[in-house]
Amino acid sequence: MPDTPAESSGNAAAPESRPPIRATIVAALVGAACGIAWYLLPLPPPTPADSARFPGLLSHLHIEDVDVATTDSSGRMHRRLQAKELRRDVPGGKSFLVQPRLTVFSEGEALWHFASERGEVSPDGENIYLPGPVRGRRGPVQPIEIESADVRIMAAESYGESDQPSTIRGRAFQARGDGLKIWLDEGKVELVNDARGTLQKR
């Protein structure tokens, strides 16, 4: 069953009499076909009059304080995406996120948290790419922490991966390896190559 949007908010400054100007629209993330397909409502491109008044200052889409959630078929929280800022420069192009925060829920309880300084959403809204350092956390049962980089999250498959060196830390162990696989709904994580770790006495 497709997910339904639960909440959406975006705060932007009111237009001033002089540039810069910030356009504000409401964003929504909706699920699609037994997956978590994410879709951001489009904003019509600036009119010629706007472009003439504010040359070079208008993006196709600009949202501040993004906070968007989806629910599952039972009305329970499913996914939540927050970001300090979202920008899309070209209609139908990918969107760019500033300080994205992604929370993945399982049976209404928060299972995964991911955070990075930057992010990109694919044009179809189904994939998120987190370039650079990424921090992840699974909890509260058997909590672990993840440090990785360049993480790709495929919404429809509820799956994430990275080909960069990664570290997994638990209460009594630490492991490192090259490459990472994450099964979001199942709460599973795996180091792909050259995995090595240490156990700590409890």
Predicted confidence (pLDDT) at residue 134 exceeds the cutoff of 50: yes
pLDDT class of 179 with cuts at 50, 70, 90: very high
pLDDT class of 89 with cuts at 50, 70, 90: confident
Q: How confident is the model over 179-201, as a mean pLDDT?
A: 89
Give me the domain span that covers residue 175.
Answer: 4-13+22-199
> pTM higher than 0.75, yes or no?
no
The CATH number assigned to the domain holding 43 equals 2.60.450.10
Q: Are 3 and 78 in contact (CB under 8 A)?
A: yes
Q: How confident is the model over 158-175, as a mean pLDDT?
A: 94
pLDDT class of 148 with cuts at 50, 70, 90: very high
CA dist 84 and 156 (Å) reads 24
Q: How confident is the model over 170-185, as a mean pLDDT?
A: 94
Helix (H) or strand (E) holding 161: strand 159-169
pLDDT digit string (tens) for 3-30? 544 444 444 444 444 444 333 333 333 3
pLDDT class of 171 with cuts at 50, 70, 90: confident
CA dist 9 and 27 (Å) reads 7
Q: How many domains does the chain have?
A: 1
pLDDT value for 24: 33
Q: Are 81 and 95 in contact (CB under 8 A)?
A: no
Residue 149, token pair as written in the block: 């980089």
pLDDT value for 98: 96
Q: What is the mean pLDDT of the chain?
A: 76
**Measured on CA atoms in the order 59, 116, 76, 9, is the torsion positive or negative?**
negative
pLDDT digit string (tens) for 33-77? 233 233 333 334 444 443 333 344 446 788 899 998 888 888 899
Q: Are 7 and 24 in contact (CB under 8 A)?
A: no
CA dist 202 and 192 (Å) reads 27
Residue 132, token pair as written in the block: 């650079």
Phi, psi of 162 (to 5 degrees): -150, 150
Predicted confidence (pLDDT) at residue 170 exceeds the cutoff of 80: yes
DSSP 8-state class, residue 123: T
